[in-house]
Amino acid sequence: MMEVSGICIGPWVGQLVVRGREVRLGPLEHRLLIFLMRNANTLLSKEAIAAETWAGRNEEGKTNRGYLVSMHIRRIRQAIEEDSEVPRLIVNRYGLGYMFVDHARGIQHRVEEKKDSFSLELDRERNEVRIRGREIHLTTSESHLLECLLNSAGNVCSDALLTKLLWGAEKDTQTDIPSRHRLASIMHNLRDKLGDTARRALIERVWKVGYRYVGH
């Protein structure tokens, strides 16, 4: 059994307890929820969710899977959220995907930052970030990237997801060399503005996979 944010789930349909109450989901929704919880605090694209949820199943209706993912997410929210209209467990980032929020890990992250007297605040409207009281202006692209990384703090945001965030289409960054170079260039500038060095980096590169915000 796995427990995250008060939700306890097992591998078989029927093994789901929400805040002490037994809840039953359909097989696909149960499988989808397990995938989200295993990747808690990681922003997952609809494509990645669909690939996992329908793995090993027939390809019928593949073109509608983005819609089907949203439909199943809505049903899961109705089953596990205190208020499905204002979800706190499964949140979405428009045009990017969904994330299951592990609130306990989020609280721990903030406690560690406070203990080390470290603070980073992002103002998306002004495209500015404040680090230890120092204000730094960002480009719109840099601001988008930093927001995505902060929302998935400690977890990897793939190159494909980040290119979709910037240019509106998920690309294969292994074959699309220009997009990979543009992403690397923007990320280099962002890390430079944040004061990243080899010895102290806020943003870490995971080779051939993506980037993650690791704090200080």
Domain coordinates of the chain in residue numbers? 2-100, 116-213
Within 8 A by CB and 6+ apart from 173, the residues are: 159, 160, 163, 179, 180, 183
C-alpha to C-alpha distances, 211 to 66, 117, 208, nearest whole angstrom: 25, 24, 9
Instruction: Write out the two tokens for 186.
Output: 């923007």
Q: Are strands 134-137 and 210-213 parallel, antiparallel or unpaired?
A: unpaired
Contact 143, 203 (CB under 8 A): no
- 15 phi, psi to nearest 5 deg: -95, 70
C-alpha to C-alpha distance for 91 and 44, rounded to whole angstroms: 11
Grade residue 109 by pLDDT with cuts at 50, 70 and 90.
Answer: very low
Question: Which ranges of 54-208 would DSSP assign to H, the alpha helix?
Answer: 65-80, 103-115, 140-151, 159-167, 177-194
Residues β-bridged to residue 92: 98
Predicted local distance difference test score (pLDDT) of residue 63: 55
The tens digit of pLDDT for each residue in 7-65 reads 999 988 888 999 889 999 999 999 999 999 998 888 888 888 988 888 766 544 555 77
Residue 138 has pLDDT above 90, yes or no: yes
Residue type, 184: A
The tens digit of pLDDT for each residue in 53-97 reads 887 665 445 557 778 888 999 999 999 999 888 888 998 876 678
Predicted local distance difference test score (pLDDT) of residue 110: 40
Residue 189 has pLDDT above 90, yes or no: yes
Assess if CATH 1.10.10.10 describes domain 116-213.
yes
- 55 phi, psi to nearest 5 deg: -60, 130
C-alpha to C-alpha distance for 155 and 44, rounded to whole angstroms: 11
CATH for 2-100 is 1.10.10.10
Q: What is the mean pLDDT of residues 195-216?
A: 78
Grade residue 201 by pLDDT with cuts at 50, 70 and 90.
Answer: confident
Grade residue 114 by pLDDT with cuts at 50, 70 and 90.
Answer: very low
Within 8 A by CB and 6+ apart from 30, the residues are: 9, 13, 16
Within 8 A by CB and 6+ apart from 42, the residues are: 99, 152, 155, 156
> Do the domains at 2-100 and 116-213 have one common CATH topology?
yes
Predicted local distance difference test score (pLDDT) of residue 113: 41
pTM of the model: 0.53
Average pLDDT, the chain: 80
